[in-house]
Amino acid sequence: MDADTDTSCQSNSMAKVYKKSSRNGLIALYLGKRDFVDHVDNVDVVDGVIKIDPSDLAGRSVWVSLTCAFRYGREDLDVIGLSFRKDIWFKHLQVYPPTSEPKPDNTHVQNALLRKTGDDGHPFIFVLPTNLPCSVTLQPGPGDAGKACGVDFEVKAYIAIEADNPDEQIDKKDTARLVIRKIQFAPDKLGAGPKANINKQFIMSEKPIQLEASTEKELYYHGDPIPISVKINNESNKVVKKVKISIEQTTDVVLYSADKYTKVVLCEEFGDQVDPASTLEKEYRVTPLLANNIEKRGLALDGKLKDEDTNLASSTIIRAGMDKEILGILVSYTIKATAVVSGGGILGSLTSSDVTVEIPLVLMYPKPADVIS
């Protein structure tokens, strides 16, 4: 196995250890996990250990940095002098030689990693602020190459004379990098589901069509069916040919511009007809999945680690008073219920118009039992 290969292994004291070694073998970066949970009012600390062989440092120091960055262009264009990467947050620490600055107590994860690395292990810890975005990837198109656009977090161990001197060239063989994810889980307390209704009047019809849509809960988990209650009261002289349920993902890129993208992630039609002076009350169950949207360029996905599957991006949960601009990418979902109305009479389609109502949807993962709030 190459020295710079990203590896994970089982440990007697931990479920899994993530390791990345530099090509020259002088440093190795160890983490106990790669998913760090944003609890809205606090974030898991990023704790790890660097194993160091000081024999060939040549007077240089060993540093570790944590960067939250937003990439909004193709990586290969950077070589022609166009930078499409913006660092949102950056912090570095000197790991070796040890400094005289006070250090926090080692975490349980670090103690387990130090038993693996021995005396050559040096712990580090980063405390992430609560106003940083979660990891999000914008899905590339079928022919796109290079690193995908989005928000990512990277822990980098490196050998250098100074921590952040732009004039100092740091060789790739002197670095070890691991991408991590900042993620959110569904909150413990969930509110009641939304409801919306609309009355639509038609030309050449004295009375309207009334449409109502609602869900029992405000939040649903990735991969679970979403039951949507639809009520139609057709007092018009039109015929509702069918009912259409769609779910849209809106990605609001707030960091560098006011770009907002809306993409349909689910659209299903149901052949329920509602004649004039008739009603319909029915529950439709739909499930938005990434598997049905794998070729849609620009779709927001939860941040992806190498060789791991991902899913549609979770809804962004914003703490009160938070600056939206620093979040980089905001993701939200909307359910649309549509009564598709047929034209009729002499004027035909000129007198027809679909009736649509919208309700918000929050889409997230449930909090695992071992995650402490």
Query: pLDDT digit string (tens) for 101-158?
Result: 888 899 999 999 999 999 999 999 999 988 888 898 888 766 666 667 888 899 999 9
Are 130 and 43 in contact by the 8 Å Cβ rule? The answer is yes
pLDDT bucket at 167, cuts 50 / 70 / 90: confident
**Considering only CA atoms, which of 243, 242, 244, 240 is closest in space to residue 275?**
240
Each residue's pLDDT tens digit, 286-342: 999 999 998 888 889 988 666 566 789 999 887 766 666 666 788 999 999 999 998
**139 shares its domain with 205:** no
For residue 79, what is the DSSP state?
G
Is residue 65 domain-resident? Answer: yes
* Same domain as 213, residue 132: no
Contact of 238 with 344, CB cutoff 8 Å: yes
CATH number, domain with residue 290 = 2.60.40.640
Output the domain CATH number for residue 117: 2.60.40.840
Report residue 158 as tokens.
């490196």
Q: How many domains does the chain have?
A: 2
Contact 364, 312 (CB under 8 A): no
Are residue 206 and residue 343 in the same domain, yes or no? yes
Last residue within a domain, chosen from 133, 165, 184? 184
Residues 179 and 199 in one domain: no
Same domain? 318 vs 241? yes
For residue 79, the Cα-to-chain-centroid distance in whole angstroms is 28
Say if residues 191 and 42 touch (Cβ distance below 8 Å).
no
Of the candidates 232, 60, 75, the residue with the CA atom closest to the CA atom of residue 149? 75
Residue 220 and residue 152 share a domain: no
Range of the domain at 216: 195-364
Return the structure tokens found at 149. 């656009």
Domain-terminating residue out of 163, 184, 205: 184
Are 267 and 223 found together in one domain? yes
Q: Tokens 């307390």 map to which residue? A: 189
Instruction: Out of 153, 184, 215, pick the residue that ends a domain.
Output: 184
Instruction: Indicate the DSSP class of residue 27.
Output: E
Residues 255, 119 within the same domain? no
Global pTM? 0.81
Helices then strands (H, E): number in the chain? 1, 21
Domain identity same for 174 and 218: no
Distance, CA of 95 to CA of 117 (rounded, Å) = 15
Peptide bond just before 97 cis, omega within 30 deg? yes
* Residue 189 lies inside a defined structural domain of this protein: no
Residue 183, both tokens: 């993620």
Task: For residue 327, give the H/E element and its range.
Answer: none
